[in-house]
A and B are shown apart, each in its own frame.
Chain A
Amino acid sequence: MNQLLARGRVVALAFALGAAILATPAIGANEVTDIGSLDQQALAALPQFQAANKQLNAYGASLQKQYLGRAQHASQSEQQRLAGEFQSRMADKQRQLFGPLFGRAQVAIASVASSKNLTVVVDKRIVVFGGQDITNNVKDLLTGVGDPVPPVTTPPPSKVGYVDQSAIDQTSKVKTATDEFLKFKQDQDKAAADKLKGAKTAADRDNILKDYRKTLDDQQNKTLKPVVDATRSAIGDVAKAKGLILVIDKGNIVFGGVDITKDVTDKLK
């Protein structure tokens, strides 16, 4: 899991860098269909989600105890196997508890989106201005009597696309570059930590950290930037070919939108 997170961080860095580089002048204002937003934190505060979350936390704590008990005297490989087993059990429980709730919420969101002619609903955290906030409408449906009714029509085509960056992370080029960088970073972390132990003054420490960051930045430009550029180019090409205005991360899409992940990963192969 840690490795996954670490990889996620590197690729997040890469995409952030990509997004920054991609700040090209606007080609021109495009007419868009409606974009909605949803405050998922507000939905999380609903009693049914809170109850499920409480149960999941209790289950997680119990699993953690069991894991520690069994892993204490286990070999490293056995510990890895156990970690996988317990993560899988946690994921199963998560599905069991949240699956029905998410299903119901998804129907409510689709229903509200349809009634408001929205083509896409995004996470409210990425909306700086505008859009239609449908949080209260969805909450009303979820807390009202009976189940929300699914819309009879499919959402109109959206001008907003999305990519699953975890899938892009797994393409061979990105993965190789990421692994290489991570290995380098691990070595640098260790070297910097050793140096920091010997630092006598705050100035020594600042210098060590400065060198450390510069080394990492240089290596990032060397190993990750080419991959980031290639990925950026592939996403841009696919988006243009499909007439999309923006492409966002799948994690920020709540409903609708156009998934271009496969087109992008195919292009990267």
Chain B
Amino acid sequence: MTGFACGETRRALASGLGAFAFAVSALAFLLLSGCSHATTAPAPGASGKGTVGYVIMDELVKKHPLYDQLARYDRSIEAFDLTATAPQVAATDPHLAERERELQKQLNDAADRTRKLIDQKQKQYQQQESAAIAAALRGAGAGGPSAAQIAGSVNATARQQQSSVASQAQRDLNAYRATLQKQDAAQMNAAQKALADRADRTYRAKAEELQSKQSALSLKMASEDAPQRLALRTKLTSLALDDAAREDAQKQLAAIDRKEADALAATRNRDQQTLIALQAQLKDQVQSDLNAQVAAIRKRSLGSLAQRQQSLTRQVSNLGGPVVRTTVVNGRVQQRVNNTLPPALQARIQQLHDDYQKRFQADAKTTIADFQKTRQDLGKRYAQLHGLDGASQAGAQAQILSLRKKREDLYGEITAQIDREVRLIAQQRGIAVVLTNIVAPAGGVDLTPDALKDIESLHE
């Protein structure tokens, strides 16, 4: 893939602008600064008369000692592209949104059930209030059902209502538990993935850092030894060289190669040990972090569940008060205070009414607040999930950008070195101009084989 991007973009621009041939090129430079390799200033006074040479840069790049590193960058970038991290990095996870919608629906359903429960409670409190008023009336000697009738009715109604509310509460609790379990599973998966990705990024970053240092070292040594190499090679091309001198020069060349190879191999071994240690450390760290996160998630869920359970238990137990038969007209419970009753009794009835109203309102408020808290809690958790996902995606994008930058820099280094080698060859062979990126070499001098030999000699 090396070097193809330049031609690709150039052609895409060209097709878009047609007759503006120069416009194309001029626009291209605005966009292509990233993919051009370092060019070489021509030798002062270089004449245009002479021969034209060319090199096939892709072939030379592939033979360069640092090509493996370049290919690794390409593969990493390709992997990111394939997993669609790059183009879809900003996209929201559709499954996450779906889960959130599902959760919202469940919460809305639960809220509806809560409203129904409150309606039931309202009726219940009204019934209790009516019963208390009736008892007060009877205590005061007013007419009404017998104490035995009242007690029987109280017990039957209480059992029926308590059973109904308890069943509903249990269903709500089960649904809530299932929701929590789903969320926990999603959170744990997300946490595991995020931690693994983080560790993977850390490892790769370290590996790349070490690779870059190796590359830099290799390049540095090659550059430092270049004059000596060139001198030796030039010496070797001399026909007048006797056998002993030739052998000596060859030995010196081999010694330079060996020295560079040894230094690089030592560095590589050291880096390999570093990476192995890092890998073990990251593995432990991921496991430890994951355990902590899983424990936190479970603790939170158990807390929420216990809270919900307590709340529902309270609601159900609140139903266990004294209930009496009441008069319901058109679905509405009515309490009528006999205005012929003594003022003290009327005041007692009013007090009972206020008291039950207050208790009902407090109970209903608690139930509603409980649901609102639950909703907020779940909303927060999903927001956390989104955050986790977003952070992971942002990290991936930064990784891609970093990889591309490193690849670009490395490609620049490689081509700069190739340019230097080619320049030397051209000067030795009296070539006036050397071009690259050619489409067809109909008759120019191909310097690629010579340059290949020089590039290959840079290998350890």
Interface residues of A (CB under 8 A from B): 1, 4-5, 8-9, 11-13, 15-16, 18-20, 22-37, 39-41, 43-44, 49, 53, 87, 91, 94-95, 98-99, 101-102, 105-106, 109, 116-118, 122-133, 159-166, 169, 189, 192-193, 196-197, 202, 205-206, 209, 212-213, 232, 235-236, 239-240, 244-255
List 16 A-B residue pairs with CB atoms under 8 Å apart, sorted by A's residue number: A5-B9, A8-B7, A11-B11, A22-B441, A34-B47, A41-B36, A49-B26, A98-B20, A98-B26, A101-B26, A127-B40, A129-B42, A165-B11, A166-B14, A240-B443, A254-B25
In the complex, chain B residues whose CB is within 8 Å of the CB of A193: 82-84
Question: How distant is A42 from chain B, measured CB to nearest CB, in Å?
Answer: 9
Assess the B46–A4 pair: CB atoms within 8 A.
no
**Within the assembled complex, what's the spacing in Å between the Cα atoms of A91 and B27?**
12
Given contacts A8-B12, A98-B27, A189-B82, contact A22 B75 (CB under 8 A): no
The A/B interface has a contact count, at CB < 8 Å, of 285
The listed residue (B51, B59, B426) touching A23 by CB distance below 8 A is B59
In the complex, chain B residues whose CB is within 8 Å of the CB of A192: 82
Given contacts A133-B41, A205-B79, contact A98 B23 (CB under 8 A): yes
Interface residues on B, range: 35 or more
**Residues of A contacting B: mostly:** helix
B50 at the interface (CB under 8 A from A): yes
Assess the B27–A129 pair: CB atoms within 8 A.
no
Given contacts A40-B28, A249-B437, contact A132 B42 (CB under 8 A): yes
Assess the A252–B437 pair: CB atoms within 8 A.
yes
Question: How distant is A163 from chain B, measured CB to nearest CB, in Å?
Answer: 6
In the complex, chain B residues whose CB is within 8 Å of the CB of A53: 30
B91 at the interface (CB under 8 A from A): no
CB-based nearest A residue for B51: A29
Assess the B42–A251 pair: CB atoms within 8 A.
no
B385 at the interface (CB under 8 A from A): no
CB-based nearest B residue for A163: B439
**Apart from A98-B26, A127-B40, A240-B442, what are 15 other A-B pairs with CB-CB below 8 Å?**
A19-B58, A30-B52, A30-B444, A95-B17, A102-B22, A125-B6, A130-B42, A130-B426, A130-B433, A131-B432, A193-B82, A246-B54, A246-B442, A247-B440, A253-B25
In the complex, chain A residues whose CB is within 8 Å of the CB of B443: 26-28, 30, 239-240, 244-246
Residues of chain B in range 213-244 having any CB-CB distance to chain A below 8 Å: none
The listed residue (A16, A30, A40, A161) touching B25 by CB distance below 8 A is A40
